[in-house]
């Protein structure tokens, strides 16, 4: 790996760290989504039974023991249970808006890496070709092909490295963005259900 970075020229020392950052973001996001995964219907039914008995402290404890976007919203709703319906709904919506940055964390960085990695590879190609043409210009008499090998290898290695980093970054970026969008839509659809759950009997 180190030898490839040396042969690929200075831009490889930018592309390779970007690949590490992208990989770290992907792993961190998958671990985060795994951590917040809960059976929402089961959780809401469990909280409904608890709140029907007016065991609100227990309901809060349930939410805190299983942190996720849906339980965070329910926790806010429970804390505002004594307010009017519209205040409860506004509080839950505000909490939902606070969850969105958590869901989207580092995704813009991953998207940026996915877009600039091939551009850096292309820049390496341009630099390599400039060097190759410089060798051609300075060559006198019969040209030794080995003189071009270094510049051509820079062009090929940086281009390949940029593409190799970009392809999985784009795939996982699109997947994670789609997952976030589905979670946001699901939260929006759950708001009215949560308000009804918290205001039954009022």
The stretches of the chain forming alpha helices (DSSP H) are: 2-8, 12-35, 40-52, 56-65, 69-79, 85-103, 107-138, 146-199
Domain assignment of residue 18, given as a range: 2-199
Share of the chain above pLDDT 70, in %: 81
Of 102, 101, 57, the closest CA to residue 75 belongs to: 57
Query: Would residue 84 be called left, alpha or beta, if left means φ above 0 and alpha means ψ between -120 and 50 degrees?
Result: beta
pLDDT above 60: residue 150: no
91 C-beta neighbours (distance < 10 Å), count = 18
Question: What is the reported pTM?
Answer: 0.79
Whether residue 2 is predicted with pLDDT greater than 70 in this model: the reply is no
Q: What is the pLDDT of residues 29-60, one digit of tens each?
A: 999 999 888 887 888 888 888 887 888 888 88
Q: Which residue from 158, 130, 127, 141 is spatially nearest to 5, judged by alpha carbons?
A: 158
Q: What's the domain count of the chain?
A: 1
Question: Look-up: residue for tokens 């590490």?
Answer: 20
* Lowest-pLDDT choice from 52-61, 69-78, 89-98, 129-138: 129-138
Pairwise CA distance, residues 197 & 189, whole Å? 14
Range in 36-40, 104-108, 126-130 with the lowest mean pLDDT? 126-130
What is the CB-side half-sphere exposure of residue 164 using CA atoms within 13 A?
12
Backbone dihedral angles phi then psi of residue 139, each to the nearest 5 degrees: -65, 135
Which distant-in-sequence residues (6+ apart) come within 8 Å of 106 by Cβ?
25, 28, 29
Give residue 24's pLDDT: 96
The whole-chain average pLDDT of the chain stands at 82
């Amino acid at each position: 790996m180190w030898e490839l970075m040396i042969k690929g020229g200075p831009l490889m020392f930018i592309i390779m760290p970007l690949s590490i950052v992208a990989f770290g973001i992907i792993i961190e996001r998958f671990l985060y989504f795994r951590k917040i995964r809960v059976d929402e219907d089961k959780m809401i039914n469990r909280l409904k039974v608890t709140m029907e008995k007016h065991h609100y402290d227990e309901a809060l404890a349930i939410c805190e023991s299983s942190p996720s976007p849906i339980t965070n919203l329910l926790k806010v709703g429970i804390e505002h249970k004594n307010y009017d319906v519209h205040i409860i709904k506004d509080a839950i919506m505000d909490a939902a808006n606070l969850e969105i940055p958590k869901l989207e964390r580092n995704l813009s960085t991953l998207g940026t890496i996915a877009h600039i990695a091939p551009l850096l590879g292309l820049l390496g190609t341009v630099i390599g070709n400039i060097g190759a043409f410089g060798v051609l210009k300075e060559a006198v008499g019969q040209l030794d092909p080995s003189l071009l090998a270094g510049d051509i290898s820079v062009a090929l290695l940086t281009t390949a490295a940029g593409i190799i980093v970009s392809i999985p970054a784009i795939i996982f970026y699109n997947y994670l963005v789609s997952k976030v969008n589905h979670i946001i839509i699901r939260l929006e659809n759950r708001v009215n259900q949560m308000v009804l759950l918290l205001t039954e009997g009022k």
